[in-house]
Amino acid sequence: MDQQGLHDIEYRCIQEEQPACQAACPLHVDVRKVMTLVRVGDLAGARKLLDRTLPLPTVLGRVCDHLCQGPCVRGSIDTSLAMGAVERTIINATGAATKPLAMPGKGKRAAVMGGDVSALTVAWDLGKKGYGVDVYVAGEAVGGHLLGLSELLPAGALAAELEIMGRLNVVFRAGQTLNAALLDRLGGEYDAVYVEMLDANFLSVGREAVDAVTLALLGRDGVFCGGFVTPGQPLSVIALAGEGRKAAVSMDRHMAGVSITASREREGACPTRLFTNTQGVIPLPGVVPADPGAGLTPAEAQAEAARCLECQCLECVKSCTYLAKYKGYPKVYARQIYNNLSIVQGARSYNQMINSCTLCGQCEELCPSGFSMPDLIVAARRDMVSRGKMPLWAHEFVLEDMAFSQSAAFRLVRAAPGEASCSHLFFPGCQLGGDPAASVPAVYAHLRAGLAGGVGLGLACCGAPAWWAGRQELAEAAMAAFRADWEALGQPRVIAACASCQATFARLAPEIPVVSLWRVLLDETGLPQVGVSLPSGPVAGVRLPAGPVAVHDACTGRHDVAGLAAVREILGRIGVAVEELPASGRLASCCGFGGLQANANPELAAATLARRVAESPRDFVATCSMCRDRLAGAGKRTYHLLDLLFPGGSDDPAERPDPGFSYRHEARARLKRQMLETVWHEPQPPETPPALPLVIPDVVRQVMEARHILDTDVARTVARAEATGRKFTDTATGRHLAGFATARVTYWALYELIDGAAHIHAAYSHRMNVSGVDRQEG
Amino acid sequence: MNDTPTYLPESGSWLCAACNQPLVAAPVGVTYLQGGFTITLLTCPACGLSLVPEFLAVGKMFEVEQLLEDK
Ligand code: SF4
Ligand code: SF4
Ligand code: SF4
């Protein structure tokens, strides 16, 4: 990602765009901020803000014709915020005019021809910037249209601001004849000249004579013109001020000798891309002053300001635990990530942030401008991997788990017994394959019985974890290995039980046809024992949920419209009513496993999961084993859809606990053996019972799960200690403690030998190398 | 004695089972990525086998590991 790439990404998040009110204000007064301050009663703070933005604030703040009100988002719900009235209340309540901070004198001088609002704005702005300004006024009184607004302006208000301008080095020269000759003279005497065109358009030119962006008079260096009257258009005091400000910016730059055209897009009233969700906003009438003549009292203004929606987007942040956790929004995150990747030396404090996104893609669905955190995050992770900067703590455990699924212990890709090729290949995925209660054998048998052309079996990992981890090459290698098998089998259609596998195939091997298992069960084989043409009803032997269920869609399957529909249709067929979760289908929320969030940031993943669980008190039905197990692990009653189609051993499958990592490993290995024995009739060598059986109490196992320690890690350490005698013994308790370092991790086990079994009291690990601890050879 | 950080088990009276020797506090080298330190652990005076207590592994060591990996 280079600077330009970063800008393109940042541009897509519109959170920092101006609210409609501010964008419509020619001076871009931060109306939203003003409303926030007034809402909490901080009129002094609001006044400060106006003082910073408005020229002659105690005058303009009272007479502004509030162009901001028209486009106010509230206008389409009830009534626009009455910014004009609120502003008047602020000024009235906060005292007389004060001299603004001015820059030190610059030694350059500007002339202004005209005494109306645009001319006064030019003089005010340039005076503040340290220029000497002489204002040439036709009549005796300065103020132009302001002079006719005496019902809005208390006596003396304008005079007070003009007096302050005097202290800003602005000199008023009244009673002048403004004509071309004077302009010629001033052009020679001053560094820049402003001509206010309003009524005394002695130049007799229109807008076309000036540059639209800079208001520079074409062909006259150093002369700027504004305040043109458009016949038939009402005159706007604040629009005049806007023109004055624009001219002042040009004149300042002209006198400073810098580019007068660079980055001026946002001046004057401009369009905004900000999106504000108004769903659920309760209409509230605008506050009417008790005494219309006096305007809003401070309390009334406060009530009016409380109606402000404080417009902003944050659509993605509102729904995502991860985005909310880091207290910003994607535009800010893009910058932080960019900076993090650019660090050459020192701590990369955003590593955990980069590795905590679930890559679920919900943000992209919600974002009015399609911002994709996954695109940004995957690019960042790949960048870290490619430069050797990805910390091990982020994904190591999952990558080892993936290596196990790719090893001979689980991997098995072949055609049905006695066949060399197949038309279909059932691909349960490593998570369903690791569900000890899963009905993979039954589903496989059902597919074989119901589909013509031969159904093969593919036990393997699709590579999703590597892709999530930013290990592009590893993911592609996994897919290449699968592709080779797939070609040898005659390029069968893949029937995927897991939405993540399906998405990974689509991403890494779009040429491989993939269909979701749910579609096949519904459209092709029929549901077990219900049958496509038979009346609906529960499958024999399956106890259905007592009430309606909520479907927890897998976030990786949000775009599989056909698959999402099939799940609902299947539930309907077997007589299970569905109550949709607020975030379902295309908008599904992740369980916290996606993107390896659970690995890099377990606490955050628990929060992600808890939020999902809180969406409904109903039993959940999940279509992904990992989702189901995580939900169950959080105490949420959750079925796997297959539990409702293929009766398993359990009476109440929604209650079965999360099997945990170790058991999932074992289940995968066992599934392969079982399939080889029962389907291919290949007797398997008996499982060698461990020399020293382990007894692991639940409390210890929970800690091991959290620490990512497998039973096999503990078994290896204990077996080694017992074989060599290299261990410590506590003479007080008789317990043994042994440590053993494998290639990257050192595992420790605290255990007691009882009746030929090792009772585990504690297990822990570290990656640091300690010189006095035994290491595995090689 | 040395003045390196010392991490001894919170309880127990530990022997090296292989050497049947009570353990003594001794300096031990610890390395990880670009980092290297010396700490004091219970160690067998005969064979040099060292004991890393649980609180050290899941506490300080874990912290420093993450810190070094994020460098
Ligand atoms: S609701 Fe408030 S922030 Fe939004 S446009 Fe109106 S005044 Fe501005
Ligand atoms: S967790 Fe999901 S919704 Fe949140 S930023 Fe990541 S991809 Fe987007
Ligand atoms: S939804 Fe999120 S990413 Fe999109 S514009 Fe809003 S804050 Fe930015």
SS (H, E, C) A121-178: HHHHHHHHCCCEEEEECCCCCCCHHHHHCCCCCCCCHHHHHHHHHHHCCEEEECCCCC
How many angstroms does the Cα of residue A615 sit away from the middle of ligand 3? 23
- Superfamily the domain A109-256 falls into: FAD/NAD(P)-binding domain (3.50.50.60)
Compute the distance between CA of residue A223 and CA of residue A302 in angstroms, rounded to an integer: 44
Confidence class of residue A532 from pLDDT cuts 50, 70 and 90? very low
Mutation target to probe the A interface, by most A beta carbons within 10 A, among B43, B54, B67 is B54
Compute the distance between CA of residue A51 and CA of residue A527 in angstroms, rounded to an integer: 72
| Nearest neighbour of A769 by CB, restricted to B16, B30, B66 | B30
Find out whether the beta carbon of A24 lies less than 6 Å from any atom of ligand 1: no
What would the two tokens of residue A734 be? 């008789």
Residue owning the nearest CA to atom 2 of ligand 3: A316
SS3 call for A443: helix
For A86, other C-beta atoms within 10 Å of its C-beta total 27
Round the CA-based radius of gyration of chain B to a whole number and report it: 13
Note the pLDDT tens digit of each residue in A481-523.
999 999 999 999 999 999 999 999 999 999 999 999 999 999 9
Of ligand 1's listed atoms, the one at least distance from the Cα of A20 is: 5
Note the pLDDT tens digit of each residue in A195-237.
999 877 888 888 999 999 999 999 999 999 999 988 888 889 9
| Nearest neighbour of A772 by CB, restricted to B15, B43, B65 | B43
In whole numbers, what is the pLDDT of chain B averaged over residues?
Answer: 92
Task: Judge whether residue A534 has pLDDT over 60.
Answer: no
Binary contact (A768, B61; C-beta < 8 A)? yes
Which residues, at least 6 apart from A181, have a Cβ–Cβ distance to it below 8 Å?
Answer: none
Given CB atoms, is A731 within the 8 Å cutoff of chain B?
yes
Alpha carbon of A662 to those of A317, A386, A440, A603, A665: distances in Å? 35, 31, 19, 21, 5
What would the two tokens of residue A766 be? 């570290």
Compute the distance between CA of residue A438 and CA of residue A170 in angstroms, rounded to an integer: 84
| Nearest neighbour of B58 by CB, restricted to A345, A735, A764 | A764
SS3 call for A770: strand
- A290 neighbors A34 (Cβ within 8 angstroms): no
C-alpha atoms less than 13 angstroms from C-alpha of A86 in its C-beta half-sphere? 34
Alpha carbon of A637 to those of A323, A539, A589, A594, A621: distances in Å? 27, 20, 17, 20, 9
Ligand nearest to the CA of A68: 1
Closest approach of chain A CAs to the CA of B33, in angstroms? 8
User: CA nearest B63 in A: which residue?
Assistant: A766
Q: What is the pTM of this model?
A: 0.87
Alpha carbon of A269 to those of A47, A71, A481, A670: distances in Å? 22, 11, 59, 69
Mean pLDDT of A312-326: 97
DSSP class of residue A522? I
Strands A514-516 and A493-496: parallel
Of ligand 2's listed atoms, the one at least distance from the Cα of A590 is: 2
Closest approach of chain A CAs to the CA of B22, in angstroms? 9
Mean pLDDT of A728-747: 94
Compute the distance between CA of residue B9 and CA of residue A190 in angstroms, rounded to an integer: 84
Binary contact (A730, B14; C-beta < 8 A)? yes
Find out whether the beta carbon of A73 lies less than 6 Å from any atom of ligand 1: yes
Please give the pLDDT value at position A776.
85
Closest approach of chain B CAs to the CA of A746, in angstroms? 10
Read off φ and ψ for residue B64, nearest 5 degrees. Answer: -70, -35
User: CA nearest A746 in B: which residue?
Assistant: B57
Q: What is this model's ipTM? A: 0.97
Note the pLDDT tens digit of each residue in A442-483.
999 999 999 999 999 999 999 999 999 999 999 999 999 999
Residue with the bigger pLDDT between A433 and B54: it is: B54
| Nearest neighbour of A770 by CB, restricted to B15, B47, B52 | B52
Which residues, at least 6 apart from A435, have a Cβ–Cβ distance to it below 8 Å?
Answer: A625, A628, A629, A640, A659, A664, A667
Per DSSP, helices labelled H in A315-471 are 315-319, 321-325, 330-342, 351-354, 362-366, 373-386, 392-406, 429-433, 440-450, 464-468
Residues of A in contact with B40 (CB under 8 A): none
Please give the pLDDT value at position A347.
76
Read off φ and ψ for residue A594, nearest 5 degrees. Answer: -55, 150
Q: What domains appear along chain B, each with residue ranges and CATH number?
A: 1-71 (3.10.20)
How many angstroms does the Cα of residue A48 sit away from the middle of ligand 1? 19
Task: Judge whether residue A266 has pLDDT over 90.
Answer: no
The angle that helices A373-386 and A330-342 make with each other, rounded to 10 degrees, is 10
Compute the distance between CA of residue A373 and CA of residue A731 in angstroms, rounded to an integer: 56
- Give me the amino acid identity at A27: L
Closest approach of chain A CAs to the CA of B44, in angstroms? 9
Task: Judge whether residue A607 has pLDDT over 70.
Answer: yes
Per DSSP, helices labelled H in A543-693 are 561-573, 597-600, 602-613, 625-633, 660-678
Alpha carbon of A229 to those of A198, A203, A225, A346: distances in Å? 6, 14, 12, 60
Ligand nearest to the CA of A323: 2
Which residues, at least 6 apart from A556, have a Cβ–Cβ distance to it below 8 Å?
Answer: A360, A464, A499, A500, A502, A503, A594, A624
How large a percentage of chain A has pLDDT more than 70? 99
Task: Judge whether residue A533 has pLDDT over 50.
Answer: no
The angle that helices A392-406 and B62-69 make with each other, rounded to 10 degrees, is 90
Task: Judge whether residue A399 has pLDDT over 60.
Answer: yes
SS3 call for A423: coil
* Unique residue bearing structure tokens 């000497």: A132
Read off φ and ψ for residue A549, nearest 5 degrees. Answer: -115, 165
Find out whether the beta carbon of A310 lies less than 6 Å from any atom of ligand 1: yes
Bridge partners of A112, per DSSP, are A135, A194
Compute the distance between CA of residue A745 and CA of residue A766 in angstroms, rounded to an integer: 6
Note the pLDDT tens digit of each residue in A3-24.
888 889 999 999 999 999 999 9
Mean pLDDT of A311-334: 97
| Assigned CATH for A18-96+270-279+294-305 | 1.10.1060.10
What would the two tokens of residue A48 be? 């400060």
| Nearest neighbour of B71 by CB, restricted to A347, A735, A772 | A347
Task: Judge whether residue A531 has pLDDT over 50.
Answer: no
Q: What residue ranges line ligand 2, CB within 6 angstroms?
A: A 320, 322-323, 357-363, 373-374, 590
Please give the pLDDT value at position A676.
96
For A413, other C-beta atoms within 10 Å of its C-beta total 18
Residue owning the nearest CA to atom 4 of ligand 1: A311
Mean pLDDT of A611-627: 96
Residues of A in contact with B17 (CB under 8 A): 725-729, 736
Compute the distance between CA of residue A339 and CA of residue A322 in angstroms, rounded to an integer: 19
Q: Chain A window 490-529: which residues touch B at a Cβ cutoff of 8 Å?
A: none
Given CB atoms, is A179 within the 8 Å cutoff of chain B?
no
Residue owning the nearest CA to atom 2 of ligand 1: A308
Task: Judge whether residue A652 has pLDDT over 80.
Answer: yes
Residues of B in contact with A772 (CB under 8 A): 28, 41, 43, 48-50
**Domain ranges within chain A, ordered by starting residue:** 18-96+270-279+294-305, 109-256, 315-390, 394-662, 694-767
Find out whether the beta carbon of A333 lies less than 6 Å from any atom of ligand 3: no
- B1 neighbors A738 (Cβ within 8 angstroms): no
Task: Judge whether residue A536 has pLDDT over 70.
Answer: no
Binary contact (A392, B69; C-beta < 8 A)? yes
In whole numbers, what is the pLDDT of chain A averaged over residues?
Answer: 93
Residue with the bigger pLDDT between A252 and A742: it is: A252
Read off φ and ψ for residue A670, nearest 5 degrees. Answer: -70, -35
Task: Judge whether residue B29 has pLDDT over 60.
Answer: yes
Residues of B in contact with A752 (CB under 8 A): none
Compute the distance between CA of residue A612 and CA of residue A592 in angstroms, rounded to an integer: 9
Given CB atoms, is A346 within the 8 Å cutoff of chain B?
yes
How many angstroms does the Cα of residue A593 sit away from the middle of ligand 2? 12
- A590 neighbors A358 (Cβ within 8 angstroms): yes
Phi-psi region of B48 (alpha: psi -120 to 50; beta: other; left: phi over 0): left
Residue owning the nearest CA to atom 2 of ligand 2: A360
Please give the pLDDT value at position A679.
96
For chain A, the maximum distance between any two Cα atoms, rounded to a whole number of angstroms, is: 114
Instruction: Show the CA angle centred on residue A306, arms to residues A303 and A312, nearest 5°.
Output: 160
Read off φ and ψ for residue A4, nearest 5 degrees. Answer: -65, -45
Mean pLDDT of A551-558: 97
- A90 neighbors A36 (Cβ within 8 angstroms): no
| Nearest neighbour of A731 by CB, restricted to B15, B32, B43 | B15
Residue owning the nearest CA to atom 4 of ligand 3: A367
Note the pLDDT tens digit of each residue in A561-592.
999 999 999 999 999 999 999 999 999 999 99
Mutation target to probe the B interface, by most B beta carbons within 10 A, among A354, A728, A731 is A728
